[in-house]
Amino acid sequence: MSSQRSPLAPQAFPDLPAIGGVTLRIARAGYKDWDRCDLTLATLSPDTAVAGVTTQSRCPSPEVEWCRKALVLGQARALVVNAGNANAFTGRHGREAVETITAAVAREIGCAPSDVFVASTGVIGVPLPTDKAEAGLAAAFSADPCGWEEAAATIMTTDTFAKAAHASAVVGGQRVELVGIVKGSGMIAPDMATMLGFIFTDAAVEAEFLQAALRSANAESFSCITVDSDTSTSDTVLAFATGAAGNRPLSSEDDDGADAFAAALADLCRQLAHLVVRDGEGASKFITVAVEGAESDASAHRIALSIANSPLVKTAIAGEDANWGRVVMAVGKAGEPAERDRLSIRFGATQVARDGLAVPDYDETPVAAHLKDAEVEIGVDLGLGDGRATVWTCDLTHGYIAINADYRS
């Protein structure tokens, strides 16, 4: 957790409603030598449905593997999040740590271990100490319940601010609430979910529909952000639906209010994803990359990511340099259909290149002014079809190097 707050951070933590059926507690397990809480425990009412998306990394953590198996059952009673130790690439010791945590929670609240979900974040390659985990859980169970801000702060690692968001919907005449907390600052790249994110709703939603809605929301939010093109071993987003609102359970997109719930979930995920980018390690600019005119939406998405992940593009934005040639480079290297003489590029509202050439009488003054803003937009039109996509990223500064050069210390 950095002591210097991101310049792109919101002014204040949002005012969030309580979610019926969710009780939050935090404790200090001491996974690192720091003076802060680093274990978050959420206990959930019986019959809570769960859905999730996890990293596509071929080197996932034991926590990710555990969650994948538990998600098949579609029900949850608790969530444990450890900060400071990713417990990834830790072999048998890592698996035993997850089994110890889930068994301890299951004994305490009287459920099956498979109803307990676990996520860990931090240094890779260091086994999670089970004695600290058990002591942290005991402290959490004896602690008073806490609020969203405390829980959001406890799951942080290199984050500079606690991240949370809220959305609501009307389902069958009943107002339902959704609250999400998220952590992520570096090792952020879209390959499913790109950090740890936890969503809680009092809506009654059957697990299968919740999974479909979360998968769709993820595709347009968490999978459309990148800070540094690196996908974590631990990426996990989980959604828990307690049913405390009392609505008739949603089971398909044809149910009354299903579309409103799905839209609220998508909105919440987008808010959370943007917060991660705004806390990108060393970031000073929030960058929107909008691509249109591609042969397909998938092609547009890959081109947008090529631009957003380019160190040359990101450093140019950091230096407020209107070097649109680097955008051309990033389009060309994406490996997607593109024709040089149809390509158009803009910065903000100013067209800088069209049909493979700089626009006649191009004036860089408005572009330079746009690049001084904290929010920058790059637009690309390939002129080939109807495919479009939007990706969000941040600039690359000296701060990113400083944070990651000293990460383990």
Residues classed as catalytic: 194
User: Hey, what are 124's tokens?
Assistant: 């890779």
Residue written as token pair 């072999």? 91
- Residue 323 is labelled as binding a ligand: no
- Residue 404 is labelled as binding a ligand: yes
- Residue 183 is labelled as binding a ligand: yes
Find all residues with CB under 8 Å of 215, minimum gap 6, and list them.
51, 53
Q: What is the 3-state secondary structure (H, E, C) of the chain?
A: CCCCCCCCCCCCCCCCCCCCCEEEEEECCCCCCCCCCCEEEEEEEEEEEEEEEECCCCCCCHHHHHHHHHHCCCEEEEEEEEEEECCCCCHHHHHHHHHHHHHHHHHHHCCCHHHEEEEEEEECCCCCCHHHHHHHHHHHHHCCCCCHHHHHHHCCCCCCCCEEEEEEEEECCEEEEEEEEEECCCCCCCCCCCCEEEEEECCCECHHHHHHHHHHHHHCCHHHECCCCCCCCCCEEEEEECCCCCCCCECCCCCCCHHHHHHHHHHHHHHHHHHHHHCCCCCCCEEEEEEEEECCHHHHHHHHHHHHCCHHHHHHHHCCCCCCHHHHHHHHHCCCCCCHHHCEEEECCEEEEECCEECCCCCCHHHHHHHCCCEEEEEEECCCCCEEEEEEEECCCHHHHHHHHCCCC
Distance of CA 31 to the CA centre of its chain: 23
- Residue 87 is labelled as binding a ligand: no
- Residue 85 is labelled as binding a ligand: no
Give the annotated binding-site residues for substrate. Answer: 157, 183, 194, 281, 404, 409
Annotated binding site: 157, 183, 194, 281, 404, 409
